[in-house]
C-alpha cells in the first residue's frame, strides 16, 4: 500500500454538447495500491464509468475533454500517444465491461477473442496463443476448455460469458484490471461466483482491481477500499470496514440506510434518498449534495474541502465527524 501503482490526480472529464458542457467528472483523485481491490461506488450518472473509461481513452477524444494526470508505471497515461496508449490497453491495464451479452463479438469464436490481445501485444504465434487461451479458460473456471475454445458467445450463459470476458482481460497478465459493473447484468448467485473469481485471481496473479459498481451491497465482501462518487466528485474515501461502520458523508449514510440488512431484524423501513442528482451542465456552486441533504446548513452554500477523519479516511463534507 505504501507504493501506489496507479495515481489519478485531479481528473476532469467534460463533454461539450449543443446545450452546454456536461461536467461528468470534476476533479477526482485517488490511488491504487499493488494487489489492492478498490471499489468506486455511485449511482448512474455520477461519473464513475466515465472516470475509468477516460483513463484508457476509450471515450472518443473528439467527444470529450480530459484534464488532470494519471500516473502509471512512471508515465502519465493522458500524455501518451495513441500508439503508446494502445500498447497499454489490454496489455498493462485491462477492462471488463458491464454487459457480457453485448461485449463479446457474436461472430467470432471466443478463443479468438481471448487470444487476440496476446497476439497483438506479445507477438507470439497463434498456436502458442491458443494454448494460453485454453489455460485462461480453465483458470476462470470454464469446464472442457479445450472444446469450449471453439464455441461462439451465443453458446454460453451470461455468467460464463463474463468469465470469458475476464479471461480475455487477464490474457496479457495486466497489472490493473478495471471492472465496470461486471456483475450488474447477472443473477445474484452468478454475481457471487464472479466476485469470488476476481478475488481469487487478484491474489493468485497479483494484480490490482478497480471495481465500478452502483451496488454498495457487493462491496463489503470484495474491496479493500471504497470511493463513493456523487455528481462527478468523490465524496468519501475509506477502507471498506470503516465506511460501513462509520460513514461520514450524508450520501454514504443514505446509501447504507437504503440497503436491506439481513443480520438485524429491524422494523425500520428502508430509507430512500429523496430527490435527484444535480444537473451536470449547470454545476451548482454549493455543495453538490445540498438539495438532497437532510443535514444542510448555511455553510453548505460553499463547496466543501477535503476533511481527513484518519490517515486513510477522507470525506468531502462541512459536517464531517459531526454527524
Partner 1 sequence: MLGYICGRILALMMILLAVSVIVFSLMHSVPGGPFDERKGRLPPAAKANILKKYGLDQPVWKQYINYMSHAVRFDFGIPYQRPHTTVAKLISKSWAITVQVGLTTIVVAFGFGILAGVYAAYHQNSWIDTLVTFVSSLGVTVPNFVVAMWLILVFAVSLDWLPMGGWGSSGQCLIDKYFCTDWILPVVAYAIAPMAIVARYTRASIVEVMGEDYVRTARAKGLSEVKVMRKHVFRNAQIPMVTALGTEIPNLITGSIFIESTFRINGLGKYFVTSTLNRDYPMIMATFLLVAFLWGILYLLTDIAYTMIDPRVRLGAKSLS
Please report, as ranges, the residues that interact with partner 1 according to CB under 8 A: 56, 58, 86-91, 94-95, 97, 99, 102-108, 113, 116-117, 120-121, 152, 154, 165, 168
Provide CB contacts within 8 A for 52, sequence distance 6+. 40, 95, 178, 180, 210, 212
Nearest distance from C-beta of residue 103 to partner 1, angstroms: 4
86 or 292: CB nearest partner 1 = 86
Nearest distance from C-beta of residue 290 to partner 1, angstroms: 35
Nearest distance from C-beta of residue 80 to partner 1, angstroms: 12
Nearest distance from C-beta of residue 224 to partner 1, angstroms: 24
Nearest distance from C-beta of residue 196 to partner 1, angstroms: 23
Torsion angle in degrees (nearest 10) through CA of 310, 312, 314, 319: -20
139 or 166: CB nearest partner 1 = 166
CA-based torsion, 55, 243, 284, 180: positive or negative: positive
147 or 306: CB nearest partner 1 = 147
Nearest distance from C-beta of residue 288 to partner 1, angstroms: 28
Nearest distance from C-beta of residue 153 to partner 1, angstroms: 9
Nearest distance from C-beta of residue 119 to partner 1, angstroms: 10
90 or 278: CB nearest partner 1 = 90
26 or 113: CB nearest partner 1 = 113
First-to-last alpha carbon distance for the chain, in angstroms, is 29
Secondary structure of the chain in the HEC alphabet? CCCEEEEEEEEEEEEEECCEEEEEEEEEEEEEECCCEEEEECCCCCCHHHHHHCCCCCCCCCCCEEEEEEEECCEEHHHCCHHHHHHHECCCEEEECCCHHHHCCCCCCHHHHHHHHHHHHHCCCHHHHHHHHHHHHHHCCCCCHHHHCCCCHHHCCHHHHHHHHHHHHHCCCCCEEEEECCCCCCCHHHHHHHHHHHHHHHHHHHCEEEEEECCHHHHCCCCCEEEEEECCEEEEEEEHHHHHHCCCCHHHHHHHHCCCCCCCCCCCCCCCCCCCCCCCCCCCCCCCCHHHCCCCCHHHHCCCCCEECCCCCEECCCCCCCC
94 or 194: CB nearest partner 1 = 94
80 or 220: CB nearest partner 1 = 80
CA distance 46 to 316: 15
23 or 113: CB nearest partner 1 = 113
Nearest distance from C-beta of residue 155 to partner 1, angstroms: 9
155 or 279: CB nearest partner 1 = 155
Amino acid at each position: 500500500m505504501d507504493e501506489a501503482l496507479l495515481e489519478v490526480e485531479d481528473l476532469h472529464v467534460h463533454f461539450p454538447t449543443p446545450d452546454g458542457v456536461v461536467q461528468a467528472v470534476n476533479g477526482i483523485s485517488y490511488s491504487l495500491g499493488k494487489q489492492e481491490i478498490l471499489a468506486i461506488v455511485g449511482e448512474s450518472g455520477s461519473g464513475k464509468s466515465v472516470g475509468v473509461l477516460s483513463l484508457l481513452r476509450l471515450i472518443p477524444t473528439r467527444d470529450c475533454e480530459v484534464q488532470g494526470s494519471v500516473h502509471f508505471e512512471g508515465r502519465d497515461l493522458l500524455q501518451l500517444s495513441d500508439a503508446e496508449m494502445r500498447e497499454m490497453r489490454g496489455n498493462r491495464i485491462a477492462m471488463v465491461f458491464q454487459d457480457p451479452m453485448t461485449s463479446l463479438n457474436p461472430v467470432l469464436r471466443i478463443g479468438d477473442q481471448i487470444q487476440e490481445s496476446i497476439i497483438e501485444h506479445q507477438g507470439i504465434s497463434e498456436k502458442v496463443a491458443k494454448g494460453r487461451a485454453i489455460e485462461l479458460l480453465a483458470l476462470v473456471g470454464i469446464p472442457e476448455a479445450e472444446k469450449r475454445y471453439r464455441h461462439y458467445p451465443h453458446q454460453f450463459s451470461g455468467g460464463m460469458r463474463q468469465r470469458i470476458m475476464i479471461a480475455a482481460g487477464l490474457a496479457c497478465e495486466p497489472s490493473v484490471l478495471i471492472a465496470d459493473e461486471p456483475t450488474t447484468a447477472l443473477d445474484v448467485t452468478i454475481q457471487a461466483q464472479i466476485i469470488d473469481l476476481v478475488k481469487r485471481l487478484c491474489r493468485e496473479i497479483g494484480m490490482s482491481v478497480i471495481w465500478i459498481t452502483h451496488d454498495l451491497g457487493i462491496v463489503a465482501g470484495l474491496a479493500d477500499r471504497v470511493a463513493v462518487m456523487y455528481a462527478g466528485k468523490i465524496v468519501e474515501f475509506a477502507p471498506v470496514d470503516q465506511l460501513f461502520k462509520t460513514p461520514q458523508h450524508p450520501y454514504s449514510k443514505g446509501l447504507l440506510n437504503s440497503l436491506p440488512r439481513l443480520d438485524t431484524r429491524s422494523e425500520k423501513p428502508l430509507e430512500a434518498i429523496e430527490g435527484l442528482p444535480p444537473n451536470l451542465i449547470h454545476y451548482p456552486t454549493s455543495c453538490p449534495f445540498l438539495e438532497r441533504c437532510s443535514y444542510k446548513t448555511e455553510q453548505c452554500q460553499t463547496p466543501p474541502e477535503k476533511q481527513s477523519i484518519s490517515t486513510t479516511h477522507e470525506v468531502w463534507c462541512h459536517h464531517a465527524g459531526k454527524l
